[in-house]
Amino acid sequence: MLLDYGVLKFSNFGSNFISIVSPILAFILAMLSKGISLGASKRVEIGERLDQGDVTGFINGRFGTLYMGFRGYFAEMFFITLWTLLLFFPGVYKTYAYAAWFYCMYLNRDISPGRALKESEAFMEGHKFNLFLATIGYTILFGIIVNVINSFFRSDTFGKIEYLYMYDNNSLMEMSEGISNNFNDFGQITINKVISIMFTGKTVAYIVINSLLKTMETIIVSIVVGVFFKLNVFKDFILFGREKIID
């Protein structure tokens, strides 16, 4: 019974650790990618030269557009999270409503992230379902890839942890000694063994790959929205100015 509890306890620890670290790393990478893309997009236009300063986003000795993209993505995820906490479907709805904030900020670098989100809602009016259809395939594909990698990692790493508890004679001896002498010392020994298994090169690779896949999904959605933009889905905004749409 104690063995089963130990396997369950540390398996849950590993699962929770990965599910927390991967999204955080993906979130940071996505914010950086948005900032760098915003900086690069300043000069990626016909007939203009791409300067190194625009790619890095460092302008006038400050973070400049890199910081703007960072703030915009943070604001987007903050409000989407709040709507999702209210109910799941409002969160999904707002995800597509805020999808064009990047291009609002691209057109006007002086607006705040909140203003960009508001303009994005006006942009996406009547186009949210089209964007959903354009991105659902990528979402399913990346979901399958992440789950396959996740299953491989669990079967390999957590299998080793289970073997450690169920079949390792040294662990069984340590367990008997720990129960009879000092259970805390035994717990520290077993925790160290599990951590040594968890923090292997394969584990780190899994976290990085999982985070990169989530980041890639975010970038692909941005590209799809950009295609909408280039095809003049928002042509009323482009031709007549934001005053015609935003009060």
Residue-wise pLDDT tens digits, 104-128 = 776 776 778 888 888 888 888 887 8
- Amino acid in the structure at residue 228: F
Q: Please tell me which residue, 184 or 149, carries the higher pLDDT value.
A: 149
Mean of pLDDT values over 18-43: 59
The burial of 171, by beta-carbon neighbours within 10 Å (0-12 exposed, 13-18 middle, 19 or more buried), is given as buried
Dihedral over alpha carbons 196, 199, 200, 206 (to 10 degrees): 150
Mean of pLDDT values over 13-27: 59
Residue-wise pLDDT tens digits, 136-149 = 777 787 777 767 76
Number of domains in the chain: 1
Q: Please tell me which residue, 193 or 46, carries the higher pLDDT value.
A: 193
Q: How far, in Å, CA of 170 to CA of 159, rounded?
A: 17
3-state secondary structure at position 62: strand
For Cα atoms 113, 233, 64, give the angle at the middle one, nearest 5 degrees: 30
Q: How far, in Å, CA of 36 to CA of 56, rounded?
A: 6
Domain that holds residue 205: 2-244
Percent over 90 (pLDDT), the chain: 0
Query: Would you place residue 16 in the very low, low, confident or very high pLDDT band (cuts 50, 70, 90)?
Result: low
What rounded mean pLDDT belongs to the chain? 61
Contact 120, 225 (CB under 8 A): no
Q: Please tell me which residue, 52 or 216, carries the higher pLDDT value.
A: 216
Contact 25, 205 (CB under 8 A): no
Residue 203, pLDDT score:
60
pLDDT beyond 50 at 4: no
pLDDT beyond 60 at 233: no
pLDDT beyond 50 at 32: yes
pLDDT beyond 50 at 63: no
pLDDT beyond 50 at 153: yes
pTM over 0.75? The answer is: no
- Quickly count helices (H) and strands (E) in the chain: 12, 0
Residue 62 bridge partners (DSSP): 59
pLDDT beyond 50 at 216: yes
Q: Please tell me which residue, 244 or 231, carries the higher pLDDT value.
A: 231
